[in-house]
Amino acid sequence: MDFFADMKPGASLINFARGDILVQDALTAGLEARRVDHAVLDVFMVEPLPETDLLWSNPNVTILPHISAPTNKRSASAVVAKNLTTYFTDPRMPVPVSRDAGY
């Protein structure tokens, strides 16, 4: 089934779920055929999205830096406090950020 062929022309797509639920070639074809007017993407099959990927230069695609939701100061503070407490007990950050991966 071609999901994008069944969409009304001019539809938009937002993917904050998982990168593997979206077939990128099908999305690209949907954008080119104007079945999809715009796509907002936060996740990809390969992360981070390679710099050479054509999605970066597509004016009908907004790429987010894997931040599917705004940060809630209270819950984020609780996570940071827990991570620091864990770090002082066991000098490893429980949920590290990978600077090499870019997120």
Decide if 38 is catalytic: no
| Annotated catalytic residue within 51, 66, 74, 92 | 66
Decide if 34 is catalytic: no
Could you tell me the residue ranges of all domains in the chain? 3-68, 70-103
**Helices within the chain (DSSP H only):** 24-32, 73-89
pTM for this one?
0.66
- Residue 70's identity, in one-letter code, is P
Instruction: Please provide the CATH number assigned to the domain covering 3-68.
Output: 3.40.50.720
CA gap 36, 41 in Å, rounded = 13
Mean pLDDT taken over the chain: 84
- Confidence (pLDDT) at 101: 64
Decide if 47 is catalytic: yes
Reported as a single tens digit per residue, the pLDDT across 20-67 is 899 999 999 999 988 999 999 999 998 889 999 999 999 999 998 887
What is the token pair recorded at 61? 């695609």
